[in-house]
Structure 1
């Protein structure tokens, strides 16, 4: 496969990943505007808690998606799994966009919202493993870390795209009342329409040569083979735990934290979140390229140490800011720390498994961990807020980061796809 084919494949996979995460994160970006439409009217924190609970429940479909689509990627190809995942995401977005409100159909409204998020959770559960595997296998050894960084570039750009659309609606096209009554449906419709384009792009992707070689050899995969690599599975879980909690804390939760806790205007909170995410996205390839020079483990140790020791004082400082610029600076600094994990975690996990179970090995333990810890991050933060103990959440994030640090310390050596003899 020549360089042009590799780049086209990486870009095609990345474009789909961007839209997948846009469809997933547009929910959290617009929660402050549509929560009232799906639940009985009450105080704002209670409505956000209900919406956050469904956001969390959607994560519990991710292990099933990781299992089904991860196994499909290892058996039928990375391209097939990625095409299936974007189709499911499209259906979930469309269902949310056209769903009637609680006032119109009562409890059916949150029920439809829940089902739609479950379908999207299944989609995203398979997306990460298949796309991480595809990017790792399509890139060359010398720049695998650099290209791996684009996984979180597209992930963040998907989230940023959701926020940019919200900003355009807030500042240019609609009034707050219009967004709350009907405007929140627009981004879900855009996501469903964009998925049709990505479906076409993924149907014409180049399949990974590593998968094709493994498929020709008819090497056995599946859960039974995966269980022979228990150490690698536990490593994925341990690395993911602290990384995903930190990521969701400083991206997903920050918009609500700035508006609901610190009292910033909703549009100001959105602007601060968008600006910090843009800087964060630009960091990813740079950190990934650094890992190609110094190795993956030093960056993971940097994240684990700084997140374990720095989370409590960082969130304490953030709780006292009144300036949007100060909030932006602190959140960006936190994301600079998180980049030690986010930029390279995909390639590190892919390098832990042989080809025949690589997608499943990355997807399933990652999805289980994200479901239990990433998906509940916002809910735990809001619960601590409602209980009047915000500092509890800071210590929780720090403890999760400590688990990642301990996991990284157990890594025996730097691994590569070329050796295909992972830590099992």
Structure 2
């Protein structure tokens, strides 16, 4: 992989061609699609996984155990972001995007092959946990590297549009995972789904890794990163130092990014992946129609994300993000109250909330990249971003299920509203510097 990375790394000061930018954009996007499919398919098939790999004596406990493993996978994301963030500074963004993709696929293959709880008992749950830890570690690195890499290779005036492909891939991966849930639930009998049908999408994700590796072999290294490395080397040779930010400034921006990400992550995981599970387990909705409703809402989100990226490149990042946070806070109670056993209620609630979330998908990579200098971009994004996703996104399904099953779903709603308002307060304090040359971010 080091040889492949070296072949696609250009000398500092040499700009990418338009063809090289597009090729690298496509390779990153397709890889992101696979990574998010491997990640989201676990949530989509959580009810089947709980029945197959946990004890069936208490179905609610089994589901909570499955969601706890989902949350534990998120615990590894900050570590993955930190480790791969350091590696991305040394070996390049491309190297990280290759390695993390292979690790994610390996985790999916392990899950597909785990024997059932009836066959090996508690070892089935342990193997599932180990596979999700590997995936969480890889996902932290992939998400960080992608959110940094795409804004760095983008033309200044199209930074949000390029960066929006991260959210398109996120939605696309979730869409394909949901599509599997919809088709398999309709075509395979319930007993067969519980025995082997749920394993199909995990095999699918593992096999697609070969295609992604082929696409990513010719990705170009970020010229912003290459020039930064050359500048650091030149400074060391000339015995000069760049004072940069103080530790206090670094910590302050990391905390701000953390709370910004909390408000963007928590609602997205609830409405993109968990809403269908909530409708099935809490409202008695049939699995097939529930997955179909999520499918439709996800398509809407995917279509709106690049549109919002295009708009953001013209009006800036702050207005869309603040609108998203305030709208999400205002609509949380009404949208959860709308969901019943009728599929149209889930579709309506998800469509509204996923439509609003396009404001984040179209702006997030560009916004953070413009707020953090290249010298600290991987450091801050590799720690604050996956940590926020782990603490707020990874625990969201578990907390929602726990509060709702106890009749206190309104407490979770208040929690989500408070997180969104905190995120809006952070963005309000940031300056609008859309389209700035990332070399000039100070």
Q: TM-score, normalised by structure 2?
A: 0.90
Superposed CA offset, 1:214-258 (max 9, x none): 22223699xx97945223212211111111011011111101111
- Quick check: 1:352–1:415 contact (8 Å CA) kept in 2? no
Aligned to 1:289: 310
Query: 1:94-133 to 2 correspondence within 5 Å?
Result: 94-133=109-148
Query: 1:258-277 to 2 correspondence within 5 Å?
Result: 258-277=279-298
- Quick check: 1:415–1:422 contact (8 Å CA) kept in 2? no
- Which of 209, 224, 229 is the equivalent residue of 2:250? 229
- Which of 174, 190, 198 is the equivalent residue of 2:204? 190
- Which of 76, 82, 85 is the equivalent residue of 2:97? 82
Query: 1:250-399 to 2 correspondence within 5 Å?
Result: 250-316=271-337, 318-319=338-339, 321-399=340-418
| CA distance in 2 between partners of 1:377 and 1:393 (Å) | 9
Q: Decide which structure has the larger Cα Rg and report it.
A: 2
Distance 1:250 1:52, change over 3 A: same
35-44 vs 283-292, which deviates more? 35-44
Superposed CA offset, 1:111-145 (max 9, x none): 11001000000000011110111110111111111
| CA distance in 2 between partners of 1:226 and 1:142 (Å) | 30
Quote the RMSD (CA, aligned, Å): 1.9
- SS of the equivalent of 2:433 reads coil
1:247 aligns with 2:268: yes
Superposed CA offset, 1:198-223 (max 9, x none): 123222211111111122223699xx
238-247 vs 384-393, which deviates more? 384-393
Give the length in aligned residue pairs: 418
5+ unaligned residues in a row in structure 2: which ranges? 1-15
| CA distance in 2 between partners of 1:250 and 1:169 (Å) | 21
| CA distance in 1 between partners of 2:315 and 2:100 (Å) | 34
Aligned to 1:201: 215
163-172 vs 62-71, which deviates more? 163-172
Alpha-carbon offset, residue 384 of structure 1: 0.6
5+ unaligned residues in a row in structure 1: which ranges? none
- Quick check: 2:224–2:438 contact (8 Å CA) kept in 1? no
- Quick check: 1:129–1:360 contact (8 Å CA) kept in 2? no
Alpha-carbon offset, residue 386 of structure 1: 1.5
228-237 vs 242-251, which deviates more? 228-237
- SS of the equivalent of 2:437 reads coil
- Which of 69, 77, 83 is the equivalent residue of 1:54? 69
Distance 1:104 1:229, change over 3 A: same
Alpha-carbon offset, residue 323 of structure 1: 3.2
| CA distance in 1 between partners of 2:61 and 2:351 (Å) | 29
1:159 aligns with 2:174: yes
Superposed CA offset, 1:33-79 (max 9, x none): 12111111134322211100000000000001000111111221110
- Quick check: 2:77–2:390 contact (8 Å CA) kept in 1? yes
Aligned to 2:6: none
Alpha-carbon offset, residue 310 of structure 1: 2.4
| CA distance in 2 between partners of 1:217 and 1:421 (Å) | 14
Aligned to 1:420: 439
Aligned to 1:30: 45
- Quick check: 1:243–1:341 contact (8 Å CA) kept in 2? yes
- Quick check: 1:37–1:102 contact (8 Å CA) kept in 2? yes
- Quick check: 2:313–2:435 contact (8 Å CA) kept in 1? no
1:408 aligns with 2:427: yes
- SS of the equivalent of 2:371 reads coil
Alpha-carbon offset, residue 196 of structure 1: 2.3
| CA distance in 1 between partners of 2:326 and 2:166 (Å) | 23
| CA distance in 2 between partners of 1:214 and 1:156 (Å) | 32
- SS of the equivalent of 1:60 reads helix
1:16 aligns with 2:31: yes
Q: TM-score, normalised by structure 1?
A: 0.94
Superposed CA offset, 1:156-199 (max 9, x none): 10111111122222223x22211110111111111111112212
| CA distance in 1 between partners of 2:436 and 2:376 (Å) | 12
| CA distance in 2 between partners of 1:327 and 1:110 (Å) | 31
Distance 1:201 1:360, change over 3 A: farther
